[in-house]
Chains A and B, each alone.
Chain A
Amino acid sequence: MTDHPPESACHRAMRRLFDFLDGELADADDAALRAHLAECRDCLAHAEFERTVLAAVAAQRGGAPLPEATRARVMAALEEAGLS
C-alpha cells in the first residue's frame, strides 16, 4: 500500500475496505475488490487484519442483560405515567 502512488489500485481498494468488510458495497464493487485482494498480498494482509479486529469488536456483542430491578423500575414509571 505505502509503496504505491496515492491513486493506485491499492489505494482505491483500501478506501473501500471497511465498506467491503461491512457488506455495504454493491455487487460489482464487491467483486472488483475481491479480485484485487486475490492478486495483492499487501492489501489482503491489511484486509485480514481489519477483519480480525472487527471480529474481536463484534465478539463484544450481547452486552449486559436487562436486570430485573431495571425492568421493574421502568414498568413502575410507565404505569405511574398512565400505561394501562
Chain B
Amino acid sequence: MYSMAESAPIPAPDFRETALPFLPDVYRFARSLTRDAADADDVVQETFLRALRSWRTFIPGSDCRRWLFTICRNVYLRSRERAERQVALDDGDDEAIAAVQAHAGWVRDGTDVLLARLDLGPAISAALDELSEPFRSAVVLVDLEDHSYEEAAAILEVPVGTVRSRLFRARRLLQERLARFAQDAGFTTSPAGGMR
C-alpha cells in the first residue's frame, strides 16, 4: 500500500525559479541571432510567453536553458518567415578541406600575415552580422555559446552531421570575409606572394 506522499505526482517546477534565471542567456542568444536590439526584445518576449504557455510540457530535471534556446530560435525563424531550417548542405568534411585550402592560398599571398597583425574583433563582429541563417545559429551556439555539436543539434532539431556542415561552412564564410577585411585594411600583397 502506498502512502499519499509516495503516490503524489512530482510537482511541476516553478517557472520563475527554473526558466527566468535564463532570461539574460536567452537575450544574448537572441541578440546574436537578430543582430538588432529591438528585434531581440520581441524575440525574447515571445520566447518566454511561449515557454509559459507550454510550461506543462517541460520535463522536470531536463535542460531548461536548452529548451528555451530551441524555442527562441524557432521564434526567431518564424519572425523572419524563413524556410531555411532544412537547407541541404554538402558534407562538412568538404567544408573543412575548403577552409584549409583557402588558408593555403592566403599563406601564398601573405594574407595570413596580415590577419595575424590585425585586431580581428571588429572584423569578426561585422562578419557575423553578414552570416545568414542557418549558418549564424551554428556559429552562435558552438563558437559563442560553447555548446557541443550534440547540444547544438538538439537545440536546432537537426542531426549532428547537419550542425557540422553548417558550422564548417559558416567558418569558411567568416574566414573569407576576414581575408577581405585584411585586404581592405590598407594592405596589399604582391603577385609573387610577398608583402609590399
| Cβ–Cβ contact A63 & B175, under 8 A | no
Interchain Cβ contacts within 8 Å, total number: 112
Which residue of the partner chain, among A14, A70, A83, contacts B52 with CB atoms under 8 Å?
A: A83
Q: Please provide the chain B residues from 138 to 168 with a CB less than 8 Å away from any CB of chain A in the complex.
A: 139, 142-146, 148-149, 164, 167-168
Which residue of the partner chain, among B37, B104, B128, B148, contacts A1 with CB atoms under 8 Å?
A: B104
| Cβ–Cβ contact A70 & B44, under 8 A | yes
User: How many B residues touch the partner, as a band?
Assistant: 35 or more
Which residues on the B side are within 8 Å of A81 (C-beta)?
49, 52-53
Q: Mark B94-114, 1 if CB is under 8 A from A, else 0.
A: 001101110110010000100
Q: Mark A46-62, 1 if CB is under 8 A from B, else 0.
A: 10011011101111111
User: How many A residues touch the partner, as a band?
Assistant: 35 or more
Q: Mark B47-68, 1 if CB is under 8 A from A, else 0.
A: 0110011000000000000000
| Cβ–Cβ contact B103 & A49, under 8 A | yes
Q: A5: CB under 8 A from chain B?
A: no
| Cβ–Cβ contact B112 & A49, under 8 A | yes
Q: B84: CB under 8 A from chain A?
A: no
CA distance A67 to B27 in the complex (A): 9
| Cβ–Cβ contact B24 & A65, under 8 A | yes
Q: B130: CB under 8 A from chain A?
A: no
Q: A77: CB under 8 A from chain B?
A: yes
Q: A33: CB under 8 A from chain B?
A: no
Q: B187: CB under 8 A from chain A?
A: no
Q: How far apart are A69's CB and chain B's nearest CB, in angstroms?
A: 8
Which residue of the partner chain, among B144, B148, B171, contacts A60 with CB atoms under 8 Å?
A: B144
Which residue of the partner chain, among B44, B53, B115, B124, contacts A57 with CB atoms under 8 Å?
A: B124
Q: Which of A46, A52, A57, A62 has the most CB of B within 10 A?
A: A57
Mind listing 25 A-B residue pairs with CB under 8 Å? A1-B104, A14-B96, A16-B96, A18-B167, A24-B149, A46-B100, A46-B104, A49-B112, A52-B115, A53-B171, A53-B178, A60-B125, A60-B144, A62-B28, A63-B31, A65-B28, A73-B41, A73-B45, A74-B23, A74-B45, A77-B45, A81-B52, A83-B15, A83-B16, A83-B52
Q: Interface residues, chain A, CB within 8 Å of chain B?
A: 1-2, 11, 14-19, 22, 24, 45-46, 49-50, 52-54, 56-67, 70-71, 73-74, 77-78, 81-83
Question: Beyond A18-B96, A60-B121: 20 further Cβ-contacts under 8 Å?
Answer: A15-B96, A18-B164, A18-B168, A22-B148, A50-B103, A50-B171, A52-B115, A52-B116, A53-B120, A53-B178, A58-B143, A58-B146, A60-B125, A60-B144, A63-B31, A63-B32, A64-B27, A65-B24, A83-B15, A83-B16
